[in-house]
Amino acid sequence: MSRLIVISNRVQPPKTGPGGNQGGLAVALLAALREQGGIWFGWSGETTEEFSGHINFQQGGGVTTATIDLEPQDVDEYYNGYANRTLWPLFHYRIDLTEFERDFGSGYRRVNQRFADTVRPLIEDDDLVWVHDYHLMPLGQELRDRGFRNRLGFFLHIPWPPARLLLSLPSHRKLVETLFAYDVVGFHTEDWLDSFRDYVTKQLGGTLGPNDTVTYEGRTIRAIAAPIGIETKEFEEAAAGNDARFARERMYMSSTGRSLIVGVDRLDYSKGLTERFLGYERFLQQNPERNGLVYMLQIAPPSREKVNTYQEIRANLDALSGRINGEYADIDWVPIRYVNKGFPRQTLAGIYRAARIGLVTPLRDGMNLVAKEYVAAQDPSDPGVLILSSFAGAAAQLKEAVLVNPYSAEELSDAIVKALEMPRAERIRRWEALIDNVRREDVFWWCDLFLAALRGDAGAEAA
């Protein structure tokens, strides 16, 4: 069996002990790496004064990780620059927040070249190579330019924007052309895939063929939709385990008789936190008789703190949560508990299970795995209600959630009332449909789906 080489901006070290704490993507990739053998390559998260190409190898749990340090200028221009000041906002439909600096583009290219130069000697002839996310779109082309002939796949974990938006990116054409260096390109939903095809056919003059193929200038690739899932079984077990029970009891004891509404998101403007707080404020305004009977816990660990737009959203949310609490709190009740730190998955599983409502309302999201984790954590005999943005990739699968327009305070407020009033039989019916999907299309299913396409297995069908 050929080895698998996974390449992403960040590398998740394999679990070293029982307390290990990994996201679903890391769990799936580590499992695939363990099964096939191979290497996970990426940036260490550290800087060095001068780039040397030195690779730091680590082994653990049957997996090898290989990381490189980058120069401070690389991090500024590539990670804090082109990736998170240009591509991230633009691909999340926030052209108003998008910055176009020539230096960002050259830093992005330089780091992709550095990745290609350092990873190339690690790859053997029949290895499968799987590149992840917007940080590394041109990496495939850089590898091909170095004579690389292996099977090469790319997965985008964020939305693909409508052509009209993408056209505002200087050198958009060059960026998209680089994707034709891959054999398979994956997106989480049919929507993102459609936008990609639309750009390729209308802007590049490419053509669509059978079996998800797309051809441009004589090069044919497969472009597929493959929605990522979570490690459902493990998460269901975590929610029923001791750490989760302890977290649940902490929640109950600190708020006897009150319904918990929970949100868990990286502190990012794409997550719709401002709009969520405003929707909750509208609910408090319009339902005075319910004040004191519910409370919201918003967990929002800070992220990308060197980027100004992230500093601004943090300041806005500090002010907004303070204002809402100042206006509505009582001597024995605070409407919003706003917490700027992360928690272990087992604790989160317990909090989700304690919550009557899971509020997942991004303005735009490639997928959103919190929605799936909330579903997996519920008590089957008395499940909570998922309120989900129709603009999250997850909405295409989780159709039995209460779907909302996250920009509308009225809709959010109405959805909270609906969820609080929803009879148990309806909650169970909706949850059973949701968990069915979350179990069936889990992260291992996703990984197998993409790798089958990448291997070129006959009959490998996308979702």
CB of 12 to ligand F6P, least distance (A): 9
Closer residue to ligand F6P in complex, CB, 133/400? 133
CB of 10 to ligand F6P, least distance (A): 5
157 binds ligand F6P (CB under 6 A): yes
Three-state DSSP string of the chain: CCCEEEEEEECCCCCCCCCCCCCHHHHHHHHHHHHHCEEEEEEEEEECCCCCCCCEEEEECCEEEEEEEECHHHHHHHHHHHHHHHHHHHHCCCHHHCCCCHHHHHHHHHHHHHHHHHHHHHCCCCCEEEEECHHHCCHHHHHHHCCCCCCEEEECCCCCCCHHHHCCCCCHHHHHHHHHHCCEEEECCHHHHHHHHHHHHHCCCCEECCCCEEEECCEEEEEEECCCCCCHHHHHHHHHCHHHHHHHHHHHHCCCCCEEEEEECCCCHHHCHHHHHHHHHHHHHHCHHHCCCEEEEEECCCCCCCCHHHHHHHHHHHHHHHHHHHHHCECCECCEEEECCCCCHHHHHHHHHHCCEEEECCCCECCCHHHHHHHHCCCCCCCCEEEEECCEHHHHCCCCCEEECCCCHHHHHHHHHHHHHCCHHHHHHHHHHHHHHHHHCCHHHHHHHHHHHHHCCCCCCCC
133 binds ligand F6P (CB under 6 A): yes
Position among 2, 3, 10, 99 found at the interface with ligand F6P (CB under 6 A) = 10
Position among 63, 129, 158, 185 found at the interface with ligand F6P (CB under 6 A) = 158
Closer residue to ligand F6P in complex, CB, 259/361? 361
| Interaction mask 282-321, ligand F6P, x per CB under 6 A | ---------------------xx-----------------
CB of 132 to ligand F6P, least distance (A): 7
Closer residue to ligand F6P in complex, CB, 307/402? 307
372 binds ligand F6P (CB under 6 A): no
The residues annotated as belonging to the active site are 157, 365
Closer residue to ligand F6P in complex, CB, 260/299? 299
7 binds ligand F6P (CB under 6 A): no
CB of 303 to ligand F6P, least distance (A): 5
Closer residue to ligand F6P in complex, CB, 350/393? 393
Q: Residues in contact with ligand F6P, total (CB under 6 A)?
A: 6
CB of 429 to ligand F6P, least distance (A): 31
Closer residue to ligand F6P in complex, CB, 134/235? 134
CB of 423 to ligand F6P, least distance (A): 36
Q: Which residues bind ligand F6P (CB under 6 A)?
A: 10, 133, 157-158, 303-304
